[in-house]
């Protein structure tokens, strides 16, 4: 993975090795449980690059993060592999996906990861610096379901598609970074 961030976050020495282990795990597990549409190493690599690409735009120091609807690990588990100094809580209510996340956490020895097999809106909120989500729902609904986790300093990073411009029409304090068909929506200083 040749992504060189322009900020304070440096790729860990074991990131590429861990990506290889993760890819092998997901290919094996996916044959039986069908947890992702990524069916070959190239597709998994593209999902990994997609997950870490926005790190280059993170300029604030992040200590804690949540990922809503982590699925097979994109982006939350991959971000946790890269940002080892950040404590990640991954929310994944679908049991077969949550089980895979537990397996991957153990195999990769990710001490900075907690996995919650519930919907984020069912859990008592705690302070977080970053909230991520990829392909879960519209921006306004995402903000609503995680509103109790949002403080004035929380950064929201949503991995969106072509409808993002419509979803943020009435918003302020956001940036959109584009890469191919992916649109990375950063929202800061959100007042709810």
pLDDT, tens digit, 9 for 90 and up, residues 117-166: 999 999 999 999 999 999 778 999 999 999 999 998 999 999 999 889 88
The pLDDT assigned to 23 comes to 98
The pLDDT assigned to 107 comes to 97
The pLDDT assigned to 137 comes to 86
CATH number listed for the domain at residues 15-187: 3.40.50.150
Those residues with Cβ within 8 angstroms of residue 100's Cβ, 6 or more apart along the chain or in another chain: 25, 26, 29, 33, 35, 72, 73
Q: Is the pLDDT of residue 169 over 80?
A: yes
Tell me which DSSP letter residue 147 carries: G
| pTM, two decimal places | 0.93
pLDDT mean over 39-43 = 96
The pLDDT assigned to 135 comes to 78
Q: Is the pLDDT of residue 5 over 80?
A: no
Break the chain into its structural domains and give their ranges: 15-187
Q: Which of 55, 110, 56 is nearest to 88 (CA)?
A: 110
């Amino acid at each position: 993975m040749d992504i060189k961030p322009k900020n304070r976050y440096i790729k860990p020495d074991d990131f590429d090795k861990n990506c290889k282990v993760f890819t092998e795990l997901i290919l094996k597990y996916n044959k039986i449980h069908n947890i992702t549409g990524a069916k070959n190493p190239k597709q998994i690599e593209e999902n990994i690059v997609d997950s870490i690409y926005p790190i280059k735009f993170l300029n604030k120091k992040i200590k804690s993060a949540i990922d809503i609807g982590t699925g097979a690990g994109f982006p939350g588990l991959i971000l946790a592999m890269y940002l080892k100094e950040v404590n990640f809580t991954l929310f994944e209510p679908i049991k077969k996906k949550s089980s895979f996340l537990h397996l991957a956490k153990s195999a990769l020895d990710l001490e900075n990861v907690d996995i919650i097999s519930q919907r984020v809106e069912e859990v008592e909120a705690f302070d977080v610096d970053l909230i991520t989500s990829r392909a879960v729902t519209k921006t306004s609904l995402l903000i609503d379901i995680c509103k109790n986790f949002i403080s004035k300093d929380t950064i929201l990073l949503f991995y969106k598609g072509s409808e993002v411009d419509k979803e943020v029409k009435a918003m302020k304090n956001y940036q959109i970074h584009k890469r191919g068909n992916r649109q990375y929506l950063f929202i800061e200083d959100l007042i709810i």
